[in-house]
Structure 1
Amino acid sequence: MRKDASSRPPYESDEYLRLRRRNMLLCAGGLLLSGASHQLTLGRVIPEVFAVHAAWSASFVALGLAVAARWVPSRMTGAIAALISLSALMLDIRFTGGLASPFFPGLYAVPLIVAVFTPGRREPTLVACALTLVSLLLTCWWSGATLQATLAQVFSFAFVAWVSAYGGRTFRRLRDAEREADRERVEALQRLAESERLRSQSERNRAEMERLAVMGKLAAGVAHEVNNPLAFVKSNLGFLEEELGEPAPDVEELRRVLEETRQGVMRIQQIVADLRRFSRDTAESDERCAVGDAVDEAQRLASVRLRSLGEVMVDVAPNLPLVRISQRHLVQVLVNLLLNAADALDTAEPRRPARIVVSAAATEAGVKMEVEDNGPGIPESVLPRLFEPFFTTKPPGKGTGLGLALCREYVARAGGTLAAENRPEGGARFTLCLPGAVVHRQR
């Protein structure tokens, strides 16, 4: 039963076997041509030499076909080819003059040829060296060479054998070094991918932590913000119950009270919807938004914290272009800036009515937004580090030090800028520049 192609080692793959067959057939053609032209080398025709070369060529053809058909293991082809070549060379040498034969130097080339054709494995070269040494000794014996001449041939061949073995060993070391380098490169890429995954996960965790921190800041005001319309709705329901008990209730008054009650319920619904959308950790598919919508949502969210401090003024120019940032990220940036302004005003001495202004105007590149307050401003020593992660001037438990760092990161990803400065008349100003979004027109 044949092995599955995916489970075969490289030296048993179809492509490798086809390559071995082609090499064997090319060698067979060269041997046949050499046998047919031996008279040019020897000066005469020797039938035995032609017969040896024909048999030699046929053996290589058969070996190539057997390897391609998987009848002979490809790992054995080098040793088999060496054995066939040595046998044929010994016959050529015997038929053409022994040690004086022009084919005799070919014995020395056998280990080199085997090393070239099977550089990845040591065994075929060693087998070829051993068989060649035996063939060399037999040739010297047939030729009646003296002991001194035989030893001279053996020492000469020893150098060739050493070159063959050392060359194959060097190739294997280079190949193993390349494989090790490839393995280390793959491992480095895997470590890099894992590091990038952990970094992305860390960024998501950091953003989630800051979002939860903002939600914590809003939590106290949410109860108050929901309680006011809830009390209003409860009072209106009591009034409606009393009016419906009257013989002739005022229908117009009932409609007015019902409308006010509906508005109170919608206010509660809006607060809950804003909070749910703000706290949800989902990827935005649309990386563009309308500035006015984002400002309205941020103002509604921050109002639960700002309502008790003072006045928030919004000055957004009409017909502003869309900007290249998701609405969720822009809302988070604005909420952070508004809550920071609220925290600064809450600790201002002497106490003063809060006045926060959010403005937006079109520019050549997109939209410029400003969030200003009349608080104490930012200390000059703090300004250079204001956007550093985990840097905060708030007491423990009051801030994570991530809010402004994430704000600048969100804006920078969109291709915009976020800067802070102190106003000449007092208070702080945050300037947000966002590029315009590319609007894809329908064809």
Structure 2
Amino acid sequence: MTSLLRATETELEQRETVPRGGVWSPRVVWALCTAVLAFWGVDSLYVGYFSPWMLGIRVVWATSLLGYTYLIRGVPPSWVAPLTDLNVLFSTLCVLGLSVEMGGVDGPYFVMVPVLPMAITLIYRRYVRSVIVCGGVGLAGTALLLWRDGHTPIQAFTWLSVVGGIILLAAYFSHQTFQAQRVEQEARIERARRESLEALAFSEHRRAQSEKLAIVGRLASGVAHEINNPLAYVGSNVNFVHTELLEAREFDREELAEVLAETRVGIQHIRQIVSDLRGFARMDENEPVACSLADVAADALKLASLRLKHVSFLQVDVPADLPEIFAVRQRLVQVVLNLLINAGDVLESHPVPGSEVRLIGRAEQERVVLLVEDNGPGFSPEVLSRLFEAFFTTKSPDKGTGLGLTLSRELVEQFGGALSASNRPEGGARLRIEFPIHRAGLSEKPSREAEGRERGAA
């Protein structure tokens, strides 16, 4: 995420760093230089004689334009502004040199002296310093021409006022243009940042939903078994009631009431399973709220029990009086459920006598801790070092996507918590989730420390 935003900002800044003159095609620059040199013939006709000095000025001018055009394409960004200033300085001196040879302030080229700063403003929009360099040199050249030609103080003051006013106007326009471009650039960067954040949020939502569906798929066989049991006796009871009602004899009302009560319990059990799964699969709750870790553990256990039938001992010790935490409850249920299913899968694939899964909650200073432990083989050093890598899994493709622990760690970190793994001293694996205690009245939400960070999963 961060790298994407930085890349976007860098690209936008580079677009604004190179002045418009730097992106002229070589063909356009060569045509401009040809015109600059060709006008030497017009100069000769105007003064009535061949002037090597004017030809030399035009050659220097054309060379400056060509050199700047080709140099600007390969130099570091820090060199762009000095090269632009140098190119503008050469152009201004060339215009003043032509004005000296063509009649001073009364010649045809002097009109370019006050016009040149305006042209620089249009060509190099963000380089206010280049406009000031052009205007300062032009103003000094104008004063020398007026002094050389012997103009009266009133005439000199008038000329200098006009030229100075145009230069100030050009500098103002250049500054305003630069400010407008900077605001536009910042708006583009902010828009790109917002679009990137929206794309990241959508991607995280889809990934979370995909992992949820994967967990539901892994629960499918257990769900089918859990529903088939009550369905069997519900169907049997319905058939019994149907037979009793159709037979033309007296029937025992108490027995029918007992059968119907048993049927109602079975239906409620099926409804509860379906409701739990549907509530887990939905993502309606998006805002973090204060929640009890005991309630989260209870919700996860109701779903995980379908996958923990083969576990000999399921120990749950999550006190109801633990301090509250600040999180999205359904997402935290997803995390705990994933850890419980992982523990059950390990004990199923590596059976041990007296298989056990433990879910323990406790408070430690300013943190609330939830431990998910098993007495299986634990983590090997190779697996432990890669446990949270993306798409890393030791399971078969039908049991693991390689994203479960990745997503679990990211979801926990979104709410200021941490998820870590280790081996128990007595043997087996231990997953530790810890959260800061939620203080009532605090409106600040935990920052998303894991945003844009790639993690791994088992």
Q: Give the TM bin, normalised by the shorter chain.
A: 0.5 to 0.7
Q: Which residue of 1 aligns with 2:105?
A: none
Q: Please give the secondary structure, in 1, of the residue aligned with 2:194.
A: helix
- The one-character-per-residue Cα deviations of 1:245-288 (angstroms, maximum 9, x if unpaired) are 58554444444333322221111001100111011121344612
Deviation string for 1:397-432 (max 9, x for gaps)?
Answer: 543322212222222232222221111222211122
Letter in 1 for 2:281: S
Q: Counterparts of 1:361 and 1:236 in 2: how far apart (Å)?
A: 45
Instruction: Map 1:345-356 to 2 at 5 A.
Output: 345-348=347-350, 352=353, 354-356=355-357
> Structure 2: how far apart are the matches of 1:260 and 1:363?
45
**Does structure 1 residue 336 correspond to structure 2 residue 318?**
no
2:212 corresponds to which residue?
211
The answer to whether residue 166 in structure 2 is matched with residue 165 in structure 1 is: yes
Q: Distance in 1 between matches of 2:156 and 2:368?
A: 88
Distance in 1 (CA, whole Å) between partners of 2:404 and 2:274 is 22
2:131 is aligned to none
Cα distance change of structure 1 residues 295 and 381 upon mapping to structure 2, 3 Å threshold: same
Taking a change above 3 Å as real, the CA distance of residues 402 and 242 of structure 1, as seen in their structure-2 partners, is same
Q: Secondary structure, in 3 states, of the residue corresponding to 2:381?
A: coil
- The answer to whether residue 273 in structure 2 is matched with residue 271 in structure 1 is yes
* Residue identity matched to 2:279: R
Task: Tell me: CA distance 1:243–1:438, structure 2 relative to 1, closer, same or farther (3 Å).
Answer: farther
What one-letter code is carried by the residue in structure 2 that aligns with 1:172? Answer: F
Contact 1:290 1:321 in 2 (8 A): yes
Partners of 2:285 and 2:330 within 8 A in 1: no
- Cα separation, 2, equivalents of 1:185 and 1:193: 12
Report the secondary structure of 2:356's partner residue.
strand
Tell me if the contact between 1:317 and 1:362 (Cα under 8 Å) persists in the aligned partners.
no
TM-score, normalised relative to structure 1: 0.60
Aligned to 2:143: none
TM-score (norm 2): 0.58
Q: Cα 1:370–1:248, aligned 2, differ >3 Å: closer, same or farther?
A: farther
Q: Indicate the residue corresponding to 1:195 in structure 2.
A: 196
Using a 3 Å threshold, how does the CA distance of structure 1 residues 255 and 292 change in structure 2: closer, same or farther?
farther
Write the distance in 1 (CA, Å) between the matches of 2:239 and 2:441: 53
Q: Tell me how far 1:357 sits from its aligned partner.
A: 1.5
Q: Distance in 2 between the 1:203 and 1:368 partners?
A: 25
Query: How far did 1:438 drift?
Result: 3.3
Q: Describe the SS at the equivalent of 1:382.
A: helix
Q: CA deviation at 1:231?
A: 0.7
Q: How does 1:277-356 map to 2 (within 5 A)?
A: 277-285=279-287, 287-348=289-350, 352=353, 354-356=355-357
Aligned match of 1:408: 409
Consecutive unaligned residues of structure 2, counting only runs of 5 or more, are: 1-120, 123-148, 443-458
The equivalent of 2:235 in structure 1 is 234
Q: Distance in 2 between matches of 1:323 and 1:192?
A: 31
Distance 1:284 1:155, change over 3 A: closer
CA RMSD of aligned residues (A): 3.7
Instruction: Give the CA deviation at 1:383.
Output: 1.8
Does residue 370 of the first structure (1) align with residue 343 of the second (2)?
no
Deviates more, 1:148-157 or 1:282-291: 148-157
Q: Secondary structure at the match of 2:322?
A: coil
Q: What secondary structure, in the 3-state scheme, does the structure 2 residue paired with 1:227 have?
A: helix
Q: Percent identity?
A: 40
CA gap 1:282/1:165 in 2 versus in 1, 3 angstroms: same
Residue-pair matches, total? 303
Mapped contact 1:374–1:428 kept (Cα < 8 A): yes
Secondary structure of 1:320's aligned partner = coil
| CA radius of gyration, larger in | 1
